[in-house]
Amino acid sequence: MEQASSPSSGFGRPFFALTVASALHVLDEATTGFLPVYNATVLAVRARWPWFPMPTFEFRVWLAGLICGVVLCFALTPLAARGAHWLRPLAWLYAVIHFFNATGHTVATILGHTVPSVTFPRPAPGFYSSPLLYIGSVWLMVRLWKTASKY
């Protein structure tokens, strides 16, 4: 396992914070009806563009997959704290995905729909935890940027 030379090159705290935000976001989505909106959106987009690659999900499979992802990220946190070099590109991807995830929930809240045929009462399902995703993802990106020269 490759590690950074000093604890100051780690990114564990923001990685942990983003994972906590992600766990809260999963709870938010699961309790506010996100999955029916997501599935309806995917089906509507596929009706227009059959090549669209996003899957639809059953609730239990969707929730189990997200929980496994959150548990994996918690398990990776000690490696992030030590600044594991191989984890940096994955951490960047993790942060960027969550930044755009929060953006999607925010835009959907503003519009009141995902696609014209899929509407919902505002705020969008999953919106309440979006600020936490923004904070965690930006903090992680800043920390990764600041520690990049150490590699």
Backbone angles phi, psi at 118, to 5 degrees: -120, 95
Written as one letter, the residue type at 15 is F
pLDDT for residue 123: 96
User: What whole-number distance in Å separates Cα of residue 87 and Cα of residue 76?
Assistant: 8
Name the percent of the chain lying above pLDDT 90: 89
Confidence of residue 148 (pLDDT cuts 50, 70, 90): confident
pLDDT per residue as tens digits for the range 8-31:
669 999 999 999 999 999 999 999
- CB atoms closer than 10 angstroms to residue 34: 20
Least Cα distance to 19 among 96, 121, 132 occurs for 132
Q: Considering the entire predicted model, what is its pTM? A: 0.90
